[in-house]
Amino acid sequence: MSIPRLFCGFPLSEGAEVALTPAQAHHVGTVLRRGPGDSLHAFNAEDGEFAAELTVLRKDRGAMRLGARCRAPVPEPAVTLLLAALKREAMDWAVEKATELGVARIRPVLTRRCVATHVNAERLSAIARGAAEQSERLSVPVVESAQPLHAVLERWDGSRLLVGAERREAAGLHSLLAGLSAPVAWLVGPEGGFEPHELDVLARAPFVSLASLGPRILRAETAAVAGLGSIVFALDGRALG
């Protein structure tokens, strides 16, 4: 039986007594059916991962005592996913998979063809946290509130932005990965794609590279994950090499 992992957004150290949030206590006790004396793991990006023992569990309250550190913190590449707001199910799936792939930040954007006009960043943050716990990564991506595409571009910090450009003449994404370094971001449009004017504006930005994922038209969430996978694996392979 696997040991449950709980993200803790505060400092961790061996021997510390750590309170569970009400949601964590409910999940551990009701969903996972654990009780006092059972093993847990607590983690965050700054301190790493610690073995722990569940010491208190009462409905929506609980606590655990931290043991030895079993994983030290590790650096992660600064990769951002910018994704046009999608319908709830597709957005949830994309956030979950982006977290599993190791993305550091998720920034929903509003474009002219977006079907969804609202993004619940708090709910998406909870999905990202759960995906991080399941995928054994130490960090949880930051999920930002949705902003219009033009506002995002106006405030961009100048780092490399790769844009999925369907139905547009663009270099294959694979050809843009040679020498790629973080920070880097991957932008994918909505279900109906970007409007031509939006792609024109993006193409004029000096920090933008339009990229193609091949001859087939992919669903937005598929394009998000396919592009992220290529980018993250290229960066990971370069770090390992």
Residue 239: pLDDT over 60: no
Is residue 96 located within the same domain as residue 130? Answer: yes
Residue 61: pLDDT over 60: yes
Q: For the segment 158-207, what is each residue's pLDDT rounded down to a tens digit?
A: 999 999 997 778 889 999 998 899 999 999 999 889 999 999 999 999 99
Is residue 128 located within the same domain as residue 171? Answer: yes
Strand partners, 196: none
Residue 86: pLDDT over 50: yes
CATH number for the domain spanning 193: value is 3.40.1280.10
Is residue 134 located within the same domain as residue 213? Answer: yes
Enclosing domain of residue 129? 79-240
Is residue 16 located within the same domain as residue 87? Answer: no
In angstroms, what is the C-alpha Rg of the chain?
20
pLDDT at 237: 67
Residue 1: pLDDT over 70: no
Mean confidence (pLDDT) of the chain: 93
Is residue 122 located within the same domain as residue 229? Answer: yes
List the structure tokens of 83. 């994704």
Residue 240: pLDDT over 70: no
Determine which helix (DSSP H) or strand (DSSP E) holds 42, and give its type and residue range. strand 39-44
pLDDT band at 71 (very low <50, low <70, confident <90, very high): very high
Is residue 88 located within the same domain as residue 178? Answer: yes
- Indicate the residue among 13, 43, 71 that finishes a domain: 71
pLDDT at 89: 96
Is residue 17 located within the same domain as residue 126? Answer: no
Peptide bond before residue 183 is cis, with ω within 30 degrees of 0: yes
Q: Is residue 4 within 8 Å of residue 43, measured between CB atoms?
A: no
Full-model pTM: 0.92
Q: How far apart are CA 191 and CA 210, in angstroms?
A: 18
The structural domain count of the chain equals 2
CATH number for the domain spanning 29: value is 2.40.240.20
Residue 126: pLDDT over 60: yes
Report angle CA 136, 137, 139 to the nearest 5 degrees: 140
For residue 164, CA distances in Å to 16, 31, 128 come to 46, 39, 23
pLDDT at 105: 97
pLDDT band at 238 (very low <50, low <70, confident <90, very high): low
**Which residue has 């996978």 as its token pair?**
229
How far from each other are the two terminal CA atoms of the chain, in whole angstroms? 35
Residue 30: pLDDT over 80: yes
Residue 149: pLDDT over 60: yes
- Indicate the residue among 13, 37, 71 that finishes a domain: 71
pLDDT at 94: 97
Residue 49: pLDDT over 50: yes
